[in-house]
Amino acid sequence: MGTIAKDTHHDHEHKPTGLKRWFFSTNHKDIGTLYLIFALTMFFVGGAMAMVIRAELFQPGLQFVDPQFYNSMVTIHALVMIFGAVMPAGVGLANWMIPLMIGAPDMALPRMNNMSFWILPFAFALLLSTIFMQGGGPAGGWTMYPPLVLQTGDAFPFLIFAVHLLGISSIMGAINIIATVFNMRAPEMSLMQMPLFVWTWVITSFLLIASIPVLAGAVTMLLTDKYFATSFFSAAGGGDPVLFQHIFWFFGHPEVYILALPAFGIVSSIIPTFSRKPLFGYASMVYATASIAILSFFVWAHHMFTVGLPIKGELFFMYATMLIAVPTGVKVFNWMATMWKGSMTFETPMLFAVGFVILFTIGGFSGLMLGITPVDFQYHDTYFVVAHFHYVLLTGAVFALMAAVYYWLPKWTGHMYDERLGKIHFWLSTITANILFFPQHFLGLAGMPRRIPDYNIQFADFNMMSSIGGFAYGVTQLLFVYIVIKCALGGKKAKAVSWEGAKGLEWTVPSPAPFHTFETPPKIKKGMLENG
């Protein structure tokens, strides 16, 4: 122990009060909390849009909204969930936990950290305000393909500016994480001793720095095509709309791993704790994460097999995509090997982590199917794709984020959450998410296209089933909010080591974690970091 700041010159529980504390905060824990609250809010905003989508698709025919509004719901739901919910939730966890895990007193650039967060509400105010504008919100899909997206009305420049702001926020967050890990780590902690969660965030940060500027470049070119008479993507002016797809997916595929890698890190922290065994194959996990990140830059065209690529190109991207299954397989194998012969218990974080491993793998397998060029010609732009990426992002990334919240909530609040309600939340989420998304595989295989408000009567049963699952999943998440608020307000006192098998520096500080921690670099004791 002796790792928390013991400084007689400072009152370590001294913190600003009122709104000032939150608006001007440079404390990594407060900014982490802001990110997490923002992400949860956006999860419900995006979720409300999903409810509109599922209500419209409950039956064939147009029921509640016109097709234009439906398409803008599809578009904004995706943008909100990706950039407003999953990414900020991951950054929130990184803010809270990375300094605690590596023994740093705070993030390396605390004021930039504040700015990274406070850009987000403005960016989303811009984006969400488009729904009320002349011509409606952006409705060309989150991929913003031209020429369709260029038909957007007044909302267009707001969309582009919002995307730029989100990019700036993400890049600043990434820079901060890299600087924190490389410069602020406890002197006794080598890179290969860092928890896997920290490793996955370092690698994710490099992905962000390399890929987000590409998206920014692409949307700037869209902007100039619409307002400044350029023809980057306009065939009439000698440009090529397919060029946008290449550029977008050069960003878009690494983006998938920006969402997934932190989830891998979370699960790699939780499974050893509840298996009471060190993580199996720590080094191979680090190398697998790095391999996935590198390979993610060489597979972008598997999203666009049907645009008419040369056959050699299609083969290259198909085989490169298959290759990603190898390091991903290493990870799944290592998680299973960690659990093998462990003294496993199934508290809520572990349930969500095991749920992640199983359901993310289902999403991974359907991804492999989509990566096979001739097969993709049948599945492309069908509900099979929708089912695939929701298994990866909802039962994958979101389940891991839920696992992380349950796992670290005692450290954040100083209270244990209601375990019985947590388990109910897990089982209801798992059952309803599968009712929601599994039938969509069948819809896609039968040929139902994505992004349509109406459909043939042959798709009615599976759509009704999917909608019922969707409403039930939405209601279930209210239980999550109740559990979190209940835990924040009170409950059984949490110990510093809140879980029996938990190891790592974050568990050496009291629960709740004091406002300032690790002003003196901690001593690393033998076995303290062995969980990985």
Partner 1 sequence: MKSTGTKERLSKKNKRLAIILGLMACSFYGVFVLIFAING
Tell me which DSSP letter residue 494 carries: P
Decide if residue 464 touches partner 1 (CB under 8 A): no
Q: How far apart are CA 242 and CA 255, in angstroms?
A: 19
Least Å distance between CB 202 and partner 1? 12
Nearest by Cα to 194 from 504, 407, 496: 504
List, by residue number, the catalytic residues.
77, 106, 142, 169-170, 253, 255, 257, 268, 302-303, 328, 331, 450
Of residues 497-526, which lie at the interface with partner 1 (CB under 8 A)? 519-520
Q: How far apart are CA 349 and CA 501, in angstroms?
A: 13
User: Residue 365 corresponds to which tokens in the numbers above?
Assistant: 């397998």
Nearer to partner 1, 224 or 284 (CB): 224
Least Å distance between CB 220 and partner 1? 6
Q: How far apart are CA 471 and CA 463, in angstroms?
A: 12
Kindly report each contact of residues 37-42 with a partner whose C-beta sits within 8 Å and lies 24 or more positions away, as own/partner.
38/84, 38/88, 38/92, 38/117, 38/120, 38/121, 39/84, 39/85, 39/86, 39/88, 39/89, 39/92, 39/401, 40/85, 40/89, 40/481, 40/484, 42/80, 42/81, 42/84, 42/85, 42/88, 42/124
Decide if residue 108 touches partner 1 (CB under 8 A): yes
Q: How far apart are CA 138 and CA 156, in angstroms?
A: 7
Decide if residue 26 touches partner 1 (CB under 8 A): no
Q: How far apart are CA 512 and CA 391, in angstroms?
A: 33
Least Å distance between CB 92 and partner 1? 20
Q: How many alpha carbons lie under 13 Å from residue 439 in its C-beta half-sphere?
A: 17
Q: Where are the alpha helices (DSSP H) in 80-228?
A: 87-102, 110-129, 155-184, 196-227
Of residues 55-94, which lie at the interface with partner 1 (CB under 8 A)? none
Which of 179, 428, 465, 472 touches partner 1 (CB under 8 A)?
179
What is the residue whose two structure tokens read 């097709």?
67
What character string, x for contact with partner 1 (CB under 8 A) and - otherwise, covers 124-163? ----------------------------------------
Candidates 114-122, 239-247, 327-335, 465-473 — which segment interacts with partner 1 by CB under 8 A? 239-247
Least Å distance between CB 165 and partner 1? 14
Candidates 155-163, 206-214, 340-348, 392-400 — which segment interacts with partner 1 by CB under 8 A? 206-214
Nearer to partner 1, 179 or 445 (CB): 179
Which of 130, 176, 275, 463 touches partner 1 (CB under 8 A)?
176
Which of 183, 190, 345, 456 touches partner 1 (CB under 8 A)?
183
| Cis-peptide into 110, omega within 30 deg | no
Candidates 36-44, 72-80, 210-218, 348-356 — which segment interacts with partner 1 by CB under 8 A? 210-218
Give 62's contacts (C-beta < 8 A, 6+ positions apart): 56, 453, 454
**∠ Cα 19 25 31 (to 5°):** 105
Nearer to partner 1, 13 or 341 (CB): 13
Nearer to partner 1, 104 or 487 (CB): 104
Candidates 46-54, 232-240, 378-386, 470-478 — which segment interacts with partner 1 by CB under 8 A? 232-240
Question: Residue length, the chain?
Answer: 532
b or e along 429-462 (b: 16 or more beta carbons within 10 Å of the residue's beta carbon)?
Answer: bbebbbbbbbbbbbbbeeebebbbbebeeebeeb
Of residues 242-301, which lie at the interface with partner 1 (CB under 8 A)? 243, 247
Which of 52, 178, 472, 479 touches partner 1 (CB under 8 A)?
178
Decide if residue 174 touches partner 1 (CB under 8 A): yes
Which of 9, 14, 20, 341 touches partner 1 (CB under 8 A)?
9
Q: How far apart are CA 379 and CA 526, in angstroms?
A: 52
Q: How far apart are CA 383 and CA 447, in angstroms?
A: 8
Decide if residue 220 touches partner 1 (CB under 8 A): yes
Which of 16, 121, 135, 239 touches partner 1 (CB under 8 A)?
239
Least Å distance between CB 18 and partner 1? 28
Q: How far apart are CA 136 and CA 209, in angstroms?
A: 32
**Binding positions for partner 1, rule: CB under 8 A:** 5, 7, 9, 108-109, 112, 171, 174-176, 178-179, 182-184, 209-210, 212-214, 216-217, 220-221, 230-232, 238-239, 243, 247, 519-520
